[in-house]
């Protein structure tokens, strides 16, 4: 435990009685009360996650856009200042180095003729991503790793705006989904206020320097006291994202999964300027996929787990489970996994092999959870 990194909020998490565990080299809170309580707080009220472990890189220079375009699958040229997009870093064999967020930053932080982007990457892939992007940086642009000094909390849920608006003059209702503004919040200058998240219940992610993070956390909890704001850990973060069908790197996507197989064709712009594996992915699309990532609901009380084999009703091996949980919102076991194309359509019957037991399941549309359902 002594070798693990701590976030600026570790002492606060421990004082709140959080169950702590190693994650991506950090000591992180898994839960405080229970995963279900924290999950419900985000779905119906407001919950706060410490996600300081995420990595942040600045790409800055005259050819900043060229570098971002060369390494990411989405079309960053479509981004206006103040916009963000979900994207991925394809590798040379059509797999995924990582998924990430790309922010087009204001140009007041640039010299004339320059542009700047913020790339937010997964903690477990930070060094890998840095090396990958650096290797491809043959452009007139600088790559700056600000991960160690950047703190990040995610204030998520339908009451997030009600809580945060008390702390800032920035009109939060004017920040559209996947847009951001920089402003003062809780007396802290230059906080990047981003209408993004990993929960499907709305809210904001707040980026600031590490030194300001405890003050920001305390101010948010003070402002949210009247709506029963709750701290939330990585356990609820996982159940929330899975209910939305959001991919988790290392589970649902990795170096051997193509973005097209993973249902990420919408962030894989095959007609934009050249990027890694573009030709390979074009050929894969033309030839047709052999497998696809699907969501499924289990007709049993047992939860599907990562790496469980998926079979056809007749017993033929057709795929593998990548993620599974007991859905707190739906109160049934749900999962995602790769299956061969004949079993990928909605309503297909599949079997999940759980030891000696075969669990009946049905392929369904994503997301599993819908606000008005």
C-beta of residue 141 within 8 angstroms of C-beta of residue 67: yes
Nearest to 362 by CA among 278, 283, 298: 298
Residue 193 belongs to domain with CATH number: 3.30.1360.120
193 and 47 in a common domain = yes
Residue 291 DSSP one-character state: E
Q: Where are the beta strands (DSSP E) in 135-187?
A: 141-145, 150-156, 180-185
Q: What does the DSSP assignment read for 52-100?
A: TTSEEEEEEETTHHHHHHHH-SS-GGGPPTTBEEEEEEE-TTS-EEEEE
Residue 363 lies in a domain: yes
233 and 171 in a common domain = yes
In the prediction, which pLDDT does 373 show? 47
Residue 265 lies in a domain: no
C-beta of residue 153 within 8 angstroms of C-beta of residue 135: no
Residue 317 lies in a domain: yes
Residue 360 belongs to domain with CATH number: 2.40.30.110
Task: Give the Cα separation of 304 and 17 in Å (integer).
Answer: 29
48 and 154 in a common domain = yes
Partners of 213 in the β-ladder? none
C-beta of residue 102 within 8 angstroms of C-beta of residue 64: no
* pLDDT tens digits in sequence order for the chain, 373 residues long: 458 999 999 999 999 999 999 999 999 999 999 999 999 999 999 999 999 999 999 999 999 999 999 999 999 999 999 999 999 999 999 999 999 999 999 988 788 899 999 999 999 999 999 999 999 999 999 999 999 999 999 999 999 999 999 999 999 999 999 999 999 999 999 999 999 999 999 999 999 999 999 999 999 999 999 999 999 999 999 999 999 999 999 999 999 999 999 999 999 999 999 999 999 999 999 999 999 999 999 999 999 999 999 999 999 999 999 999 999 999 999 999 999 999 999 999 999 999 999 999 999 999 999 876 4
> Which residue range is the domain that position 355 belongs to?
290-373
233 and 164 in a common domain = yes
CB neighbour class for 316 (10 Å; exposed up to 12, middle 13-18, buried from 19): exposed
In the prediction, which pLDDT does 372 show? 61
Residue 312 lies in a domain: yes
Give me the torsion for CA of 237, 242, 245, 246, rounded to 10°.
Answer: 30
Cα 79–Cα 84–Cα 87 angle in degrees, nearest 5: 95
Q: In the chain, how many domains are there?
A: 2
Q: Which residues touch 161 (CB under 8 Å, ≥6 apart)? A: 172, 173, 202, 203, 204
Residue 135 DSSP one-character state: H
Task: Give the Cα separation of 5 and 53 in Å (integer).
Answer: 9
In the prediction, which pLDDT does 1 show? 46
Residue 84 lies in a domain: no
Task: Give the Cα separation of 311 and 325 in Å (integer).
Answer: 19
C-beta of residue 209 within 8 angstroms of C-beta of residue 147: no
In the prediction, which pLDDT does 3 show? 87
238 and 153 in a common domain = yes
Nearest to 99 by CA among 212, 253, 224, 243: 253
């Amino acid at each position: 435990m002594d070798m693990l990194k701590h976030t600026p909020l570790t002492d606060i998490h421990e004082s709140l009685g959080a169950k702590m565990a190693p994650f991506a080299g950090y000591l992180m809170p898994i839960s405080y009360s229970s995963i279900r309580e924290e999950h419900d707080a985000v779905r119906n009220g407001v919950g706060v996650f410490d996600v300081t472990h995420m990595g942040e890189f600045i790409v800055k220079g005259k050819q900043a856009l060229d570098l971002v375009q060369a390494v990411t699958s989405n079309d960053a040229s479509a981004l206006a200042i103040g916009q963000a997009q979900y994207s991925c870093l394809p590798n040379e064999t059509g797999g995924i180095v990582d998924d990430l967020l790309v922010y087009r930053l204001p140009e007041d932080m640039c010299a004339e003729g320059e542009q700047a982007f913020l790339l937010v990457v997964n903690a477990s892939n930070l060094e890998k991503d840095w090396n990958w992007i650096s290797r491809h940086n043959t452009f007139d642009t600088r790559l700056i790793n600000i991960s160690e000094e950047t703190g990040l909390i995610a204030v998520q849920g339908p009451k997030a705006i009600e809580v945060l608006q008390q702390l800032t003059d920035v009109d939060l209702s004017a920040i559209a989904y996947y847009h951001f503004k920089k402003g003062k919040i809780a007396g802290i200058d230059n906080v990047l206020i981003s209408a993004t998240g990993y929960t499907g219940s709305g809210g904001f992610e707040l980026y600031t320097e590490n030194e300001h993070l405890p003050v920001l956390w305390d101010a948010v909890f003070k402002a949210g006291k009247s709506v029963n704001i709750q701290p939330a850990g990585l356990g609820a973060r996982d159940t929330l994202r899975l209910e939305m069908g959001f991919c988790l790197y290392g589970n649902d996507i990795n170096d051997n999964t193509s973005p097209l197989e993973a249902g990420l064709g919408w962030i894989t712009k095959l007609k934009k300027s050249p990027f890694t594996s573009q030709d390979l992915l074009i050929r894969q699309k033309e030839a047709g996929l052999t497998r696809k990532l699907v969501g499924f609901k289990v007709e049993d009380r047992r939860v599907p787990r990562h790496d469980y084999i998926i079979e056809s009703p007749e017993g033929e091996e057709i795929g593998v489970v990548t993620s599974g949980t007991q859905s707190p919102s739906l109160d049934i076991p749900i999962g995602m996994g790769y299956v061969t194309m004949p079993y990928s359509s909605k309503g297909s019957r599949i079997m999940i092999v759980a030891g000696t037991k075969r669990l009946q399941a049905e392929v369904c549309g994503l997301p599993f959870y819908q606000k008005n359902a």
